[in-house]
Amino acid sequence: MADLSVNFAGIRAPNPFWLASAPPTNSGAQIHRAFEHGWGGAVWKTIGAPVLNISNRYAGLSIAGQRLLAINNVELISDRPLDVNLREIAEIKRLWPDRAVIVSAMVDASPEAWREIVMMIEDTGADGIELNYGCPQGMSERGMGAAVGQVPEMCELNTHWVTSVTKLPVIVKLTPNVTRITEPAHAAIAGGAHALSLINTINSIMSVDLDTLQITPSIGGRGTHGGYAGPAVKPIALNMLTELLTDDLVLRSGVPVCGMGGIQTWKDAAEFLLLGAGAVQVCTAAMHYGYRIVEDMIDGLSNWMDDKGFATIPELTGRALPQVSSFGELDLGYQAVARIDPDKCIQCNLCYVACNDTAHQCIDLVAGNGVRVDPGYDMRVNGKAVADTRPTPVVREPDCVGCALCANVCPVDGCITMVSVPGTQQSVSWDALTAQRPEIASSWDAMMAYRAEQGIEIH
């Protein structure tokens, strides 16, 4: 059985599955219950400045009957008394010495405020501190959270105030609400951060109720922006994780990154690990399904690692990163086409509609007798049959550009696959091509001449 234990910036845990700082880690009783289910660690819901929360606090995104594809929250940091949180943190660490207990903190941007809270956290015996520079609502208006994370100079300064007064590992939690995620990451590293975590929630307004005309969630007839999280944000999180772990400065620093954002299953977690995360944090999925989901996460990841021959988490960490490339380095000569399995096709024609209306018009509808037909065709014209069965979509491969839209709209798994075929044009990247022939990038005449040489036809 695979060894799932991790050592993240000196913080040890029996597995990489940690609960993120959020409502699931609001109290000692909750975290105790979570650890009983098998979670490897927990980041305590952010403690620090005094707050008052409101209601309603959440709005969910549901599509076609699927609930909570994303969640928007306008909840602030912990509203429980500081002394209560500190006492419970110490108790949890005493009861669960083998689990990672990390305390998320947020205070006013001053060295005195940070020193005070850090000393209190150290006294609990916690394993580490996570600096919350990501909260996009409520706290940012008070000069905390994202207000720090969005300004690299403030990020570096606040981080230095913490790392200069504690020996505990300090994790800086980055906000995704920036243009370049590497800039606050560089600042955090310059401030002495021992690790990074991302992503925090994305600034958002979830929806407008078309009956009441009110923003959701509605707080006494008013609404505001909040933090967007859940399965729908996973691609954004994976991209930002990759941006960090392909950045020269981050790589040279050796600072590990804890990944989060949309993790719901062991497969999601494996993707984060393969892109370089040293551990992962989960929030929305636990809010949706409860703490027990970690049991499937542990079993699923362990079984997959056994199947792939990975004995430990470090063996798989970052294994997908070498494939990451810029567009300019991709092979322009690589070619793939869509192939439709007629035995799996349910003849819904979604692929035809998508291709014909919005892509490259290379799928035909072909009746059982081989007659090409259009949607809405009449089975009989002048009394003669033109099709004897419901038509089946067929790809004209010479015209297919391999965009893969059809494969993505098809409702049947494995019905449409993208198949590599021998390329008909030069195997070269855009960067290499334009280095050899720079005029191609600035002149359409030069571009058309190159296409003619290569036999490239755009229909």
Q: Which residues are catalytic?
A: 135
Pairing of strands 202-204, 226-229: antiparallel
Alpha-carbon 190 to chain mean position:
25
Length of the chain: 459
